Amino acid sequence: MKIENIKINAYGNLKNKDIELNKFNIIYGKNESGKSTLLNYIKNSFYGISKNKNGREISDYDKYLPWNEKEFSGRIKYKLDNNNSYEIYRDFNKKNAIIYNDQKEDISDNFKVDKKTGNQFFYDQTKVDENTFMATAISMQKEVIVDNTTQGILLQKVANLAESGVEDVSYKKAISNINSRLLNEVGTTNSKERPINIARENIKKYEIDMQTINETKNNRYKIEENIKEKSRELEEEKEKEKLLNKISEILEDQKSEEEKIKLKNNIINENLVKIKNLDNKKDNLINQIKKEEKVPEKKSLNKINILIIFLLILINILDFIFIHNLIINISLILLLPIYIIYLLIKNNKNKKELNKFKEINNKIIAENDEIKNQMSVIDGQIELLENSNENTKKEIENSKIELNNNLKNNKEKIINDFNGIYDQEYISNLFNNNIDLLKNTNKRKLNEIELELHKLKLDRNNIDPELEKLIHTEELLEIEEENLTKLEKRAKEFELAKELLDEAYEEMRSNITPKFNQTLSKNIDIISNGKYKNISINDKITIELNDGRYISAESLSIGTVEQIYLSLRLSILNEISNEKLPIILDEAFAYYDDNRLEAALEFLSKVDNQVILFTCTNREKEILDKNNINYNYILL
């Protein structure tokens, strides 16, 4: 792989930079000129910039975000070993980069996308993740430490690279850390007072507690079942109560209407009694009607009395003619006036009697007229009562019809309302039963059920404290079982991690480390100008001298250790990827002497990898010029 062009719009203190790169490149700049910024730009262009601090004081994003600039972007053009060219444009404010092929087509969707880090194009192309890239391809400023006090650290990094392929990871320490964490975080079968042992002991204790209070739980279950049953019975009786109340209301209304009909019948009967009484009263009045007194016949003076007077006159005449007796004559003469007087007196008396009879008859007539008036009033009353009875009878008939219709409709409504709860026959029969008796029975049953339900709830409340303990124990048992499961899973993870580390370590020792040793020996021979021929890195680092002796790396000079470290990184670089990744060095030779620097530069000029060397001195340029090594010089 070769980086061909770097274009920076704005990144940190770098702005509007366009840099062409060749195989061997020296990027010169004084301190704080932006060398480390450019190196970081390359790395973050490939892998994306992080907004997380990751233990540092400030994140890369915040550190390199330009001030007073809208742009925070750039582009890198590179070619893979198969000669396919790509350009990556990245706006660092966004997670994903845009990748173009050599036809300038956007092929970003051809690569996997990670939710956290974004497009994984560079990993898909090189099979190297960011951490490995930083541990092998890039050597940051002052990473090669050369003072005596830190020689052990540098040797450990070399050993780590040989053991695990990562300079910050030691196989032995990793195994030791896993065992330590396994013991502290989980525990083993032989350990005591460790999480897994405590969890197992707690589970045994909680299981014993569960056995002692399981009977309480069963009793609680039975009580709950009884409560449910009684609650169901209570609901049924309440439904029945609703039904009975509705029927009772209907029957009460029916009864009320029947009472109205009964009252109307009573009114009819009362009217009949009144009519009968009026008839009797009428009969009595009829009996009270008096006959008129028979007025005496008026004697006609023109016939009898006139005849008598005529006879008396005739007698007096005859008397005067034939009888000349004075006494007889006087007597007969007096007889006529006397008789006339008598007639006058009698006539006067008859007039008085006639007047008297007339008064009596007039009184009788008046009384009879009053009686007739009363009888007429009675007839009117009787007629009104009879008409009232007729109307009332019609009202009763209509009321009976309406009552029957209402009863029928109300029955149908109740049957529909309680459809699915009670059948039609049952509801119909209730209308024919003593509803008050049924209501009393229902009420009594409701009271009994509520009392039983209350007792059951009291029993449940009394048992609840024990159940709370049971629930708490169950929760603790569940927590401990989950904890034990997690711990056992964690233990398996630790064991699996150790197995994988063992397998990886054995793979390194069997297959990779020998290649490393061979490549490393070749590299160190070149870098050290033949002073050191063979390097063997297994459990420790061993160097073969020219005289055939083997010495431990601890006895070597710091400079030699630095050479081994650089050589090992370069050896690993070509093993970890299917691409020959660029070698990027930032002030990596700041503490090399001239001889070692010359050997290192000559070695780097011969490797197949692209070299990008950041420096703030002219030593590298002078040595390259001296040895006629071709290079690309870039001034920041």
Closest CA to 2 of 79, 74, 75: 79
Q: What is the mean pLDDT of the chain?
A: 81
My answer on whether 241 and 257 are in the same domain is no
Instruction: Tell whether 219 and 367 lie within a shared domain.
Output: no
Write the CA distances from 80 to 125, 172, 372, integer angstroms.
8, 36, 144
The confidence score (pLDDT) of residue 524 equals 75
Q: Are residues 291 and 355 in the same domain?
A: yes
- On whether residue 41 sits in a domain, the answer given is no
In the predicted structure, residue 183 carries a pLDDT above the cut 60: yes
Judged against a pLDDT cut of 70, whether residue 163 lies above it is answered with no
Cβ–Cβ under 8 Å, residues 40 and 64:
yes
Dump pLDDT digits (tens) for 416-443.
888 878 888 888 888 888 888 888 998 9
Long-range pairs for 259-265: beta carbons < 8 A, 24 or more residues apart: 260/399, 261/396, 261/399, 261/400, 261/403, 264/392, 264/395, 264/396, 264/399, 265/396
Is residue 479 assigned to a domain? yes
Per-residue pLDDT tens digits for 330-339:
776 777 777 7
Of 447, 468, 493, the residue at which a domain comes to its end is 493
Q: Where are the alpha helices (DSSP H) in 508-557?
A: 513-527
Residue 552 has pLDDT above 70, yes or no: yes
pLDDT, tens only, 500-523:
777 766 666 666 566 667 777 777
Q: How many Cβ atoms sit within 10 Å of the Cβ of residue 605?
A: 15
pTM for the model: 0.50
Give the pLDDT of residue 20: 97
621 three-state secondary structure: helix
346/265 same-domain check? yes
Residue in the structure block whose two tokens are 């993870």 = 493
- Confidence category of residue 148, pLDDT binned at 50, 70, 90: very low
Q: Is residue 511 part of a domain?
A: no
SS3 409: helix
pLDDT(155) > 60? no
pLDDT in the model for residue 147: 42
Whether residue 232 is contained in a domain is answered as: yes
In percent, how much of the chain has pLDDT > 90? 24
Q: Which residue has the higher pLDDT, 404 or 532?
A: 404
Residue 512's pLDDT is 56
Inform me whether the pLDDT recorded for 581 exceeds 90: yes
pLDDT at 144 over 50: no
Give the type of residue at 131.
N
**Residue 68 located in a structural domain:** no
Lowest mean pLDDT among 105-119, 136-150, 214-228: 136-150
Domain coverage including residue 461: 195-249+435-493
Q: What is the pLDDT of residue 294?
A: 55
Of residues 305 and 194, more confidence is placed in 194
- Give 62's pLDDT tier (boundaries 50, 70, 90): very high
In a domain, 90, yes or no: no
Rounding to the nearest 10 degrees, give the CA dihedral for residues 379, 383, 389, 395.
-160
The pLDDT value recorded for residue 499 is 81
User: Are residues 352 and 404 located together in one domain of the fold?
Assistant: yes
Give the pLDDT confidence of 535-546 residue by residue, as tens digits: 776 666 777 777
The amino acid at residue 550 is Y
Highest mean pLDDT among 36-50, 195-209, 472-486, 520-534: 36-50
| pLDDT at residue 302, rounded to an integer | 52
The Cα-based distances of 84 to 78, 102, 129, 573 in angstroms read 9, 7, 21, 21
The last residue of one of the domains, among 405, 424, 443, is 424
- Greater confidence (398 vs 588) lies with 398
Beta carbons within 10 angstroms of residue 399's beta carbon: 15
Cβ neighbourhood burial of 8 (10 Å; 0-12, 13-18, 19+): buried
Q: What is the pLDDT of residue 424?
A: 83
Bridge partners (DSSP) of residue 359 are: none
Half-sphere exposure of 495 (CA within 13 A, CB side): 9
Alpha carbon separation from 140 to 321, 331, 609 (Å, rounded): 213, 204, 18
Q: Are residues 377 and 410 in the same domain?
A: yes
Asked if residue 573 is part of any domain, the answer here is no
pLDDT tier at 153 (50, 70, 90 boundaries)?
A: very low
Q: Which phi and psi (to 5°) does residue 5 adopt?
A: -150, 140
Residues 360 and 313 in one domain: yes
Residues 267 and 300 in one domain: yes
* Residue 291 or 460, more confident: 460
What total number of domains does the chain contain?
Answer: 2
Last residue within a domain, chosen from 424, 445, 478: 424
Q: Which residue has the tokens 């009573």?
A: 266
Percent of the chain with pLDDT over 70: 87
* Residue 237 reports pLDDT greater than 80: yes
Looking at residue 150, its pLDDT comes to: 38
Residue 171 is predicted with a pLDDT of 62
Residue 366: what pLDDT?
A: 80
Contact 470, 210 (CB under 8 A): yes
CA distances from 490 to 187, 248, 494 (A): 10, 72, 6
| Average pLDDT estimate for 110-135 | 88
pLDDT at residue number 3: 97
Average pLDDT over residues 91-108: 94
Higher pLDDT, 318 or 243: 243
* Structure-derived torsion over alpha carbons of residues 257, 263, 266, 267, reported in degrees to the nearest 10: -120
Q: Tell whether 465 and 409 lie within a shared domain.
A: no
pLDDT tens, residue by residue, 298-355: 544 457 777 777 777 777 777 667 766 667 667 767 777 777 787 778 777 777 777 7
Give a yes or no: residue 202 inside a domain.
yes
Domain match, 214 and 342 both: no
pLDDT given at position 142: 47
Decide: helix, strand or coil at residue 77: strand
* 317 and 398 together in one domain: yes
Q: Tell me which of 227 and 332 has the higher pLDDT.
A: 227
Q: Same structural domain for residues 256 and 372? A: yes
Tens-place pLDDT, residues 349-387: 777 777 777 777 788 778 778 888 888 888 888 889 889
Single-letter residue type at 584 = I
Measure the CA–CA gap between 19 and 7, rounded to whole angstroms: 6
